[in-house]
Structure 1
């Protein structure tokens, strides 16, 4: 963890972009550390909130697309052969693979909210040659809220930003609860609108 912090302190936004790209391209670098520390740097006045969020989101998308391409052109043998060089976690990869096989494109969105699994979720999508357009949309939809949440929490926690690492599963539950509420609200509005159109 210390080397990530030092890297970001020395190279700023470039370090943020590189580490988040790697994290989304199958290198198990905890985004709680990268984005949480970035939020802390905002609190210190080193980083700007808008720039940090934009860089984090772009890096997440770029890394996810790279992971997709690796899955498409290299497949499982690529990770099994070179995974040891990036501390590959086969168990978490298998969880990501099962999640994608069960839920398809929606798993790209769901997986981005799951610690550990989010690192590998794009790879099985590439292996399955899932259509790039919906993959990209699901990736963007999953990357934006996760990035904003962790940066915001890091900023709010300030000196205590490392609590993000210890309580990441609790934050995950909060995220899921928020999305369930949003989903219910939009679902109710959609069916009310549909039912209203039928009655006209």
Structure 2
């Protein structure tokens, strides 16, 4: 967490954007830890709350959009045919078809799953508008909730770690 705080203090809001935008694609920094660090820094007056929230939300919605686009490309090039051979994928697809919007929304609450939900939406041909109206609000609610809690209890979190 100290490394994240150091990066944010040196490079500002761009680090928050990049962590949330590129995190799903291989940056080994957990977004939950980054959210906590940003909340603690905001609680101590080091970051502006609105800019911080906007940086993280724009980063996450960018990742959602790119993930969906990757899924659409994978569908176009026949990846769905190869993927559908796996039993685990067939189970996930049945669940997804049955609980379409709910699966997108709840997927953001589960670490690692949140990064694959929109890719699967693209692979399964979910219309972009549907993905947009379900995924973006879910991502923003997830970020806002964790960020808000860490802002409110930032001082206490620091005391726990000391």
Q: What is the TM-score normalised by the length of structure 1? A: 0.63
Alpha-carbon distance, 1:41 to partner: 1.0
Is structure 2 residue 102 aligned with structure 1 residue 106?
A: yes
- In structure 2, list runs of 5 or more residues that go unmatched: 80-88
Following the alignment from structure 1 to structure 2, what is the Cα–Cα distance between the partners of residues 4 and 131?
Answer: 36
- In structure 1, list runs of 5 or more residues that go unmatched: 78-92, 164-200
Partner of 1:179: none
Superposed, 1:96-135 pairs within 5 Å as: 99-135=95-131
Following the alignment from structure 1 to structure 2, what is the Cα–Cα distance between the partners of residues 8 and 110?
Answer: 29
Q: Secondary structure at the match of 1:129?
A: coil
Backbone CA RMSD of aligned residues: 3.0
Partner of 1:145: 141
CA spacing shift, 1:58–1:32, aligned 2, 3 Å: same
Aligned residue among 134, 150, 154 for 1:154? 150
Structure number with greater CO (CA < 8 Å, separation at least 6) is 2
Following the alignment from structure 1 to structure 2, what is the Cα–Cα distance between the partners of residues 100 and 162?
Answer: 42
Alpha-carbon distance, 1:22 to partner: 1.8
Q: What is the TM-score normalised by the length of structure 2? A: 0.76
CA spacing shift, 1:40–1:72, aligned 2, 3 Å: same
Superposed CA deviations along residues 136-184 of structure 1, whole A, max 9, x for unmatched, are 0101220121111111122122251698xxxxxxxxxxxxxxxxxxxxx
Following the alignment from structure 2 to structure 1, what is the Cα–Cα distance between the partners of residues 90 and 8?
Answer: 31
Counting matched residue pairs gives: 148
